[in-house]
Amino acid sequence: MATGKPITLSDGSFDEEINGSAVPILVDFWAEWCGPCKTISPILEDLAQERADSLRIGKLNVDENLETARRYEVMSIPTLILFKDGEPARRIVGSRPKSALLQELEAYL
Amino acid sequence: MARHRKVIILGSGPAGLTAAIYTARADLEPLVLEGEPSSTSDQPGGQLMLTTEVENFPGFPEGILGPELMGSMRSQATRFGATFETVKASRVDFSVRPFRIWVGDPTTEDSTYVADSVIVATGARSLMLGLDSERRLLGHGVSTCATCDGFFFRDRKVVVVGGGDSAVEEALFLSKFASEVIIVHRRKELRASKIMQDRAFRNSKLSFRWDAAVVDVLGEDKVEAVVLKDVNTGELNELAADGLFVAIGHVPNTDLFKGQLTMEESGYLVTGPGSQTNVEGVFACGDVQDHVYRQAITAAGSGCTAAIDTERWLEGQEHRKALSD
């Protein structure tokens, strides 16, 4: 189950992946043109590896998957939404250092 | 034990990275504390990381993307031996030599680094309006990054606050997506350059609300309207909008240096002769000491000045030391 790598999500696979996840899944809504998305990406890759037992990282390209982005009313990227038991539990808008990100997630892991 | 470096550069915009290229080529093995990830202009690479096309940086006749330009500058500095840490300084002590710089916990006895010389290139960050409603609706229609978020405002109506080049640039960019872009400015005319003004007035999606300030953002879960105040009459009225982008100016990132480096009332560092600050051995370059020109190329130029000043000053120190030995 724990691969230690971010998984790529799409409009088609989103619900299945979110609902079928045994551990919380943090979804990164991102796009190619977004500078701050690039700065948070390596941090998420680290987390996927370091927290492989308690957290999964999902990547959703908003340019290709606008339907899901709209459904969760994402209007700014990067937006990170932590899904627990299939439901959004925490929403984080904007890039930030790893320590700050962990602080906001710790309670849910 | 604090790690020792000959040169530490604080900041990684065009000023910091040019200083890094020059000091690296002078074999000073600079360490760049490049900043921390964020979605504001206060991030590694600086303000250009939130821009798209840079059209006025010499050498790129077709223009170049801001993040791409900064990526290239960083690679160039790395090639000559500059090293990078993706952190911010949390405290500095310029009263002792070598100078002391902390990263992370600022209360520890030992500093993280000591440096023979320091180049301050921490730049400036964009001002927000400072409204509670603005903070509450961040990511729900209020954005700090037009290039990131413009896409979400396709066929929607957005407000851009400000009248300078950055405001007009954002408005023009947003007009590619939005159905309508309204520039709200507290004066009767734009401060933006002639070429930007021409583009703004020619763009059919752009309109203007002069002599007006945004005093509140309305909406429960997302932006629905902004409240405008007429700066002459004080009259309030609502303007329906789905998005709000703020480009009303900048403040220098100098909180860290208060009480140590001489600054103007506005917080900008005072330099001279050259890039020298009031502390010998501490130099400053780029927007942190320039509220007049504020261009990528002037920042890069002053970064070069600071690197040469630093190199000469360090040589002078060596020379003095050799004479006294």
Structure tokens at A90: 């925490």
For residue range B314-323, list pLDDT tens digits in order.
Answer: 999 989 888 8
Does the active-site annotation cover B304?
Answer: no
The per-residue pLDDT for A3 is 67
**What CATH number labels A7-108?**
3.40.30.10
B132-246: CATH topology is FAD/NAD(P)-binding domain (3.50.50)
The per-residue pLDDT for B300 is 98
Interface test with B, best of A75, A80, A93 (most B CBs within 10 A): A75
Indicate the SS3 state at residue B3: strand
Question: Packing angle between helix B296-324 and helix B14-25, nearest 10 degrees?
Answer: 40
Chain A: give the shortest CA distance to residue B173, in Å: 13
Residue B237, phi then psi, degrees to nearest 5? -150, 155
pLDDT in tens, chain A (109 residues): 456 899 999 999 999 999 999 999 999 999 998 989 999 999 999 999 999 999 999 999 999 999 999 999 999 999 999 999 999 999 999 999 999 999 999 998 8
Contact A12, A4 (CB under 8 A): no
- Taking CB atoms and an 8 Å limit, are A31 and B67 in contact across chains? no
Contacts with B40 from chain A: Cβ below 8 Å:
94
Angle made by CA atoms B190, B141, A35, in degrees to the nearest 5: 80
Indicate the SS3 state at residue A26: strand
Q: What is the ipTM of this complex?
A: 0.85
The nearest alpha carbon in chain A to B138 belongs to A93
Quickly count helices (H) and strands (E) in chain B: 7, 19
Does the active-site annotation cover A80?
Answer: no
What are the contacts of A68-72 at 24+ separation with CB within 8 A?
A68/A9, A68/A10, A68/A11, A68/A14, A69/A29, A69/B152, A72/A29
Report d(CA B136, CA A87) in Å as an integer: 22
Contact B176, A107 (CB under 8 A): no
Indicate the SS3 state at residue A16: helix
HSE, side-chain direction, 13 A CA sphere, residue B19: 37
Radius of gyration of chain B (CA): 22
What are the contacts of B191-197 at 24+ separation with CB within 8 A?
B191/B163, B191/B164, B191/B165, B192/B163, B192/B164, B192/B165, B192/B167, B192/B168, B193/B165, B196/B165, B196/B168, B196/B169, B196/B172, B197/B168
The per-residue pLDDT for B70 is 96
DSSP labels, B141-195: TEES-HHHHGGGGTT-EEEEE--SHHHHHHHHHHTTT-SEEEEE-SSSS--S-HH
**Phi-psi region for residue B123, left (φ > 0), alpha (ψ -120 to 50) or beta?**
left
CA B227 to chain centre: 28
Contact B63, B54 (CB under 8 A): yes
* Residue numbers of chain B with a pLDDT score lower than 70: none
Pairing status of strand B282-284 against strand B142-143:
unpaired
Report d(CA A68, CA B131) in Å as an integer: 30
Nearest to B44 among A39, A69, A91 (CB): A39
Report d(CA B19, CA B16) in Å as an integer: 5
Contact B120, B8 (CB under 8 A): no
**Phi-psi region for residue A74, left (φ > 0), alpha (ψ -120 to 50) or beta?**
beta
Contacts with A96 from chain B: Cβ below 8 Å:
36-39
Does the active-site annotation cover B285?
Answer: no
Contact B9, B34 (CB under 8 A): no
The per-residue pLDDT for A2 is 53
- Taking CB atoms and an 8 Å limit, are A75 and B222 in contact across chains? yes
Contact A9, A56 (CB under 8 A): no
Contact B277, B270 (CB under 8 A): yes
- Taking CB atoms and an 8 Å limit, are B148 and A39 in contact across chains? no
The nearest alpha carbon in chain B to A92 belongs to B139
Which CATH superfamily is B3-126+250-324 part of? FAD/NAD(P)-binding domain (3.50.50.60)
